[in-house]
Amino acid sequence: MSEPMTFWDHLDELRSVFIRILVVTAAAAVVAFCLKDELFAIVLAPRSSDFITYRLMGVEPFCVNLMNTGLTEQFMIHMKTAMYAGILVALPYIIYMLFGFISPALYDNERKYATLLCGSGYVMFMLGTLLNYFLIFPLTVKFLGTYQVSEDVANMLTLQSYMDTLLMMNLVMGIVFELPVVSWILGRMGLVNARMMQSFRRHAVVAIVAVAAIITPTTDAFTLIVVALPIWLLYELSIIIVGLTKQTNTR
């Protein structure tokens, strides 16, 4: 029987985990950095009517032209985008390593729930990111990128503005899609129940519309509905999950 690990042993093991995570993430980011043409072909695709979402919606041809205004701006954006892509690619490995560090301290049933939590959290975050990339962000770009108060005023959008909006909206939608996972945790802890969430449904709808308005700073009702609808569906799904969680706990 092996001797129990001391605090310093655990700290050393955690340091080793972080080093491995940093190495793998950096390697993924370097690969993304080297694949510049492929990376930005994906990132910049929503600015043109050739993007798949616009083709399916039958949008009239358009193209949002981007410009660079800083000497080092394009290089820094290239690095930031590559790092973001590297983190997305390495995220399963990051979750695996962190779970491997904490799992020995968990009981079998706790390990089962922790596995479910990590897996579902990752899936929901990626679903939110994909929804933003394929639907919400393209609609935002189409509206704001082509909006003009007068034909005499041309839009001159910067690459920095485009990328900041894309990365911010990806992160926000990924976090928003964690709502069912957070609700499941709160349900397991007994802090919320399905009846409580149903009673606050009207308040939730108002909050969802407010969040949707913040995520997509457009004035058209269509885009607002497109953003608010999946969030509302997530709330309804959360009610079902919390209800099933309570039934499981009472058995």
Comparing C-alpha atoms, which of 146, 128, 134, 148 is closest to residue 211?
Answer: 128
- Strand extents, DSSP E, 72-137: none
Residue 1: per-residue pLDDT: 45
Confidence of residue 156 (pLDDT cuts 50, 70, 90): confident
DSSP H/E element including 67: strand 66-67
Q: What is the phi/psi pair of residue 107, to 5°?
A: -75, 170
The span from the CA of 127 to the CA of 132, in Å, is 9
pLDDT band for position 109 (50/70/90)? confident
Mean pLDDT of 53-65: 91
| Cα–Cα distance measured from residue 244 to residue 70, given in angstroms and rounded to the nearest whole number | 54
Contact 224, 216 (CB under 8 A): yes
Structure tokens at 43: 């990132």
From first CA to last CA, the distance across the chain in angstroms is 36
